[in-house]
Amino acid sequence: MRIDERDAVIREAGAMQMQIGRSSGAAYDSIGRALVVLMAMREAYAADLEALTARQAEVEAAIRGIDNPQYQDILRLRYIQSLSWIKIAHQMGNSVDNCHKMHRDALERMQFVQ
């Protein structure tokens, strides 16, 4: 399930929970089921976040393994900060073409994380 779908379900469950004071019977059962789904989704989201955090740490370690600080910078800007090539070029004081070349060279030196 995508994050935006999860968020929609969470919002719906929250709205249903607000009806508890005004509802009984079938509506109350529906709210209970929605809350169970909500809790399961929160657990799944936490697990996803933990996995992504671990993966990011692996990528950062691989970047630190490169012996050229400029190569490290370009990889961090692109993959950790998700900057566009234009922003990377501006920040590094280089042309976009030069940044592409440095990126290519950096990837060749990088020990890839599988």
- Indicate whether 11 and 41 sit together in one domain: yes
Rounded Cα gap, residues 35 and 12, in angstroms: 10
Looking up residue 98, the CATH number of its domain turns out to be: 1.10.10
Max CA-CA distance within the chain?
A: 67
Determine, yes or no, domain membership for 7.
yes
112 pLDDT band (50/70/90 cuts)?
low
- Local confidence band at 100 (pLDDT 50, 70, 90 cut-offs): very high
Domain with 46 in it: 1-52
Which helix H or strand E contains 25, and what residues bound it? none
Which whole number is the average pLDDT over 89-98?
97
Scanning the chain, the segments in alpha helix (DSSP H) are 3-18, 26-64, 69-75, 85-92, 96-109
pTM for the whole structure:
0.61
Please give the pLDDT value at position 89.
Answer: 97
- pLDDT above 90 for 4: no
Together in a domain, 41 and 69: no
Angstrom CA distances, 24 to 7, 20, 29, 30, 36, stand at 26, 7, 8, 10, 17
